[in-house]
Structure 1
Amino acid sequence: MSRPSAEGVPDGIRLAGIGDEAAPGLAGQIGAVAELGWHRLELRTIDGTPVARLDEQAFRRAVGLLESAGTSVAGVASKIGDWSRPVTGDFALDLDELDVLARRCDVLGTRLVRIMSYPSGGLDEPEWGRRARERLRELALRAEDHGLVLAHENCAGWAGDRADRMIDLVTGIGSPALRLLFDIGNGVAHGYPSLPMLREILPYVVHVHVKDACVGKGGEVAFVAPGAGQAEVAECLRLLLRHGYGGVLSIEPHIALAPHLGSGAGDPAAFVAYGRAFEHLLGEIGGAR
């Protein structure tokens, strides 16, 4: 039996989790957030297949499971511009994925699609940036036509680890369909502090991933419970709350699954334990904004 969210979690805060961090199959993903009392998923893969690549029968089955469980979808984590698609690659892959997700997001009842800004493919920085901006401009225009919001994550790509470049994308392209997703833990893995970046990009953040990590001996990155690492999770959450952040806080533990490395698998028990730790952390900081 599920329980309500932890006492002390600030009013209006919506909690979710990236489902495949809990389990490969959708039933397990739904069960994990239900056990937490959240009933909200961010979808990335189902049985190892990205949402846009599911065949129609599998997609209809997924929609039926979500509707039966009363689980809503906070957003879809796409592969557009991610670490597997350099800016020198075939742009048609991204345009086709966006077209598919436009139809599927409408059915799923969400507008938010996570994107990145392309690995360089060996290009020098000026050409890399020019091509990345050109592609994101076209994607934003199409997303605007579809009523979607593309949320660029501070991860792989031209603007992945630079606040100034993220702001350049959003303000330079000037589309309401392009905004930012801030992953609190990515800075540890990519070598920059989280809190200063969040301060700079805060006005454009529409979605947040909650992750924590620490750097051990030899520079190896280990992902840990929220608040137990070096990502300044509590400080970032306080900043978001003080400024009236109204989006979703979505956990991405990386405790059992490392999708960028292609290793591990979702673990429902680890996911639920992470969610409980996150609720506890939110309860502790809820009154101290």
Structure 2
Amino acid sequence: MTASSTPTWTLSGFGDEIHEDPRIQIAVLQALGAQHIEVRSAWGINIVELDDARLEELRALLAEQEMGVSAIASPLGKVDITSDFDAELARLDRAINAAKVLNSRYIRIFSFYYGEGVDVDSIREPVIERLTRFAEIAQAAGIVLLHENEKDIYGDTPARVLDLITSVNSPALRVAWDNANYVQVGAVPFDDGFEDLRPYLEYLQVKDALASDHSVVAAGEGDGQLRETLGALASDGFAGFASLEPHLSDAFATGGFSGAAAFGRAARAFRGLTDELGVTLK
């Protein structure tokens, strides 16, 4: 790789893994060299539940600190497939509004949980119908939805993610790739899914995990094949966001937490990998 072809990626991170206060979120991310933030919650309030006044307060704060927003980390689709779909459409409206106010092109989504004992294949059609509707609304609004491969949803394995993306077949639905989540469902991420999913991969969520007990670890310290993944992205011209989501202290249904110190350790581990590969983080 020559100096002229050195890839540049944009560093971001889930601010609420650092602290509830967005000022502290921004300060820590900037200290780690990031000029973007992925917004899941602020002041302890989920992004789709922030009222207009709070959303405007957040917009003004980000503008004051010259901080961009890489994505709206919404909880869309992180509910059971039998849940009220109108309620999810209302949350999509709030997420789109947040994306517009905070000047972000991307909204993260999921592809629905299903009850214990339910055959995952039995929910395929309603999941595709719902994501198709999401994508239609997003495309009309000029937004791109990023599907995250969260464990225990329909799209938790590489094969089912590929099925979703190709079946919905919309430019408004793309892949947010998470190596750690694939490890936690028994996949070998790069070997099992990278080649097939690369044409749709538009956003990288950075964390790693151990196959032995599914615990989350810093980038490069687990079995998520992060080096292979990052190396392939560096070679093929990826130029998108890399968003830190370390989950190093706690993980729960709506997200995770690391704290400033552990978040910093995760950022340094990731930068160590990108430095090895000759990738510039900006």
Q: Same fold (TM over 0.5)?
A: yes
1:180-195 to 2 correspondences below 5 Å: 180-195=175-190
**How many residue pairs align between the two structures?**
271
1:1-289 to 2 correspondences below 5 Å: 10-82=6-78, 85-121=79-115, 123-156=118-151, 157-161=153-157, 163-196=158-191, 197-216=193-212, 220-260=213-253, 265-286=257-278
Partner of 2:3: none
Q: Secondary structure of 1:253's partner?
A: coil
Partner AA of 2:271 in structure 1: E
Counterparts of 2:52 and 2:235, CA distance in 1: 43
- 1:118 offset after TM fit, Å? 0.6
Maintained 8 Å contact 1:182/1:198: no
- CA 1:173 to 1:131, structure 2 compared with 1: closer, same or farther past 3 Å? same
Q: Secondary structure of 1:168's partner?
A: helix
- Identity over the aligned pairs, expressed in percent? 32
Cα-Cα RMSD = 1.7
Counterparts of 2:184 and 2:122, CA distance in 1: 25
Q: Deviations over 1:157-179 (max 9, x none)?
A: 21221x23222222222211111
Any stretches of 5+ residues in structure 2 without a counterpart?
A: 1-5
Counterparts of 2:71 and 2:254, CA distance in 1: 22
Q: Secondary structure of 1:208's partner?
A: strand
Q: Secondary structure of 2:110's partner?
A: strand
- 1:261 offset after TM fit, Å? 7.5
- CA 1:228 to 1:126, structure 2 compared with 1: closer, same or farther past 3 Å? closer
Q: TM-score, normalised by structure 2?
A: 0.90
Counterparts of 1:275 and 1:244, CA distance in 2: 22
Q: Deviations over 1:120-151 (max 9, x none)?
A: 23543343001101101111111111111111
- 1:257 offset after TM fit, Å? 3.2
Q: Secondary structure of 1:152's partner?
A: strand
- 1:52 offset after TM fit, Å? 0.9
